[in-house]
């Protein structure tokens, strides 16, 4: 009798394991991802390419969503990106400038139509504006600033200004994720890639806000987010005129220009140049910090750079702790010498 009971118990356990295995396999086979692509005129924000790489780590098809009055040109470029299975095009001026009310409503409608289990966007101003609203519409908790996709339900993200890494496991049926673009390589175009394109369904979304205008600082220098070399200046440059030395070195190196929050708050340069926890996150091949002490908020935005060079007259400045090369001295003496010798 006891042997029969043990056999029945073991058989029941084995059946449950097989049933769970079939359920898990069925669940994995149903996985799919949407990737939001922010359009900029006839082009698109290249952060979407990093988000596509993150989405490809999830099993299942990847569907790119391109919206805007000039979405056709961007959609054709995205269709050639390796790993994109389909491109949904919403050609409508209502989606220009990625207003959160209209864009979130579109993504919700597409999630319902496609049955997507994951929705990705780059952790940019647009992504941070749209995805929280989308998460609320889907009754899902957003997972922000992801630096690693461990599995379909597990992600890694920095916390405490990058001093700790949290592993987040989500039980939500739909995962809404923003991706730190510097943590994933950009997906590339392939001659063999040719994703299908289809029109997005009509969505009745009433915007609560109105786009008025955009004032952008135009520059011939490389964009800060994608530059391979970045030269940043801090409060020690002393003035807006003193910040010119940062521009001069950057031009010599063909680099993008960044700044610490202290330099931005002091009015030495435009706030679009701010690097750090509350500014831009960069990870160039070469980062040169000039007159920057290395506050934790600034380090959070640049410590993943491949090579870090620090120039500061204070030998005890925190930035030297993470720098690969350091020069202790007056920046107004060192930097002109560098410019002269390059």
148 is in an annotated binding site: no
Q: Which two tokens stand for residue 266?
A: 């002091």
280 is in an annotated binding site: no
312 is in an annotated binding site: yes
293 is in an annotated binding site: yes
68 is in an annotated binding site: no
Question: Contact at 8 Å (CB) between 98 and 130?
Answer: yes
233 is in an annotated binding site: no
3-state helix, strand, coil in the chain (%, to 5): 35, 25, 40
Query: What are the φ/ψ torsions at residue 158 (nearest 5 degrees)?
Result: -75, 145
Instruction: Mark residue 313 as left, alpha or beta (left: phi above 0; alpha: psi -120 to 50; beta: remaining).
Output: alpha
Task: For residue 72, count other CB atoms closer than 10 A to its CB.
Answer: 14
278 is in an annotated binding site: yes
Euclidean distance between CA atoms 234 and 331, whole angstroms: 11
321 is in an annotated binding site: no
294 is in an annotated binding site: yes
322 is in an annotated binding site: no
Euclidean distance between CA atoms 224 and 237, whole angstroms: 20
111 is in an annotated binding site: no
59 is in an annotated binding site: no
6 is in an annotated binding site: no
Q: Quick one: how far is CA 287 from the chain centroid?
A: 19
Query: Where do runs of H (alpha helix) occur along the chain?
Result: 2-29, 47-55, 71-79, 100-114, 125-137, 244-253, 261-265, 296-299, 331-341
- CA distances, 244 to each of 234, 239, 241, 274 (Å): 12, 9, 6, 16
Annotated binding residues? 235, 260-261, 274-278, 291-298, 312
Binding residues for FAD: 235, 260-261, 274-278, 291-298, 312
């Amino acid at each position: 009798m006891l042997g029969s009971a043990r056999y029945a118990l073991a058989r029941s356990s084995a059946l449950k394991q097989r049933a769970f295995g079939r359920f898990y396999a069925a669940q994995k086979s149903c996985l799919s991802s949407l990737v939001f692509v922010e359009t900029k005129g006839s082009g698109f924000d290249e952060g979407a390419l990093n988000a596509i790489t993150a989405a490809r780590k999830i099993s299942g098809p990847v569907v790119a969503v391109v919206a805007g009055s000039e979405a056709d040109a961007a959609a054709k470029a995205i269709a050639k990106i390796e790993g994109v299975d389909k491109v949904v095009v919403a050609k409508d001026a209502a989606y220009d400038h990625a207003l959160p009310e209209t864009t979130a409503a579109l993504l919700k409608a597409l999630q319902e139509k496609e049955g997507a289990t994951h929705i990705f966007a780059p952790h940019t101003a647009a992504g941070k504006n749209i995805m929280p609203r989308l998460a609320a519409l889907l009754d899902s908790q957003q997972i922000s600033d992801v630096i690693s996709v461990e599995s379909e339900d597990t992600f890694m993200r920095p916390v405490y200004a990058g001093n700790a890494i949290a592993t987040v496991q989500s039980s939500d049926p739909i995962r809404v994720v923003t991706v730190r673009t510097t943590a994933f390589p950009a997906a590339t175009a392939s001659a063999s890639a040719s994703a299908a394109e289809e029109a997005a369904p009509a969505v009745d979304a009433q915007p609560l806000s109105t786009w008025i205008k955009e004032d952008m600082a135009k520059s011939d220098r490389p964009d800060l987010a994608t530059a391979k070399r970045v030269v940043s200046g801090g409060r020690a440059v002393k003035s807006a005129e003193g910040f010119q030395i940062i521009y001069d070195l950057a031009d010599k190196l063909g680099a993008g220009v960044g700044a610490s929050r202290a330099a931005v708050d002091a009015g030495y340069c435009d706030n679009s140049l701010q690097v750090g926890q509350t500014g831009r996150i960069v990870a160039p091949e070469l980062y040169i910090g000039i007159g920057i002490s290395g506050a934790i908020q600034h380090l959070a935005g640049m410590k993943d750079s491949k090579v870090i060079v620090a120039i500061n007259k204070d030998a005890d400045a925190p930035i030297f702790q993470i720098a690969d090369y350091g020069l202790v001295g007056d920046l107004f003496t060192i930097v002109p010498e560098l410019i002269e010798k390059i």
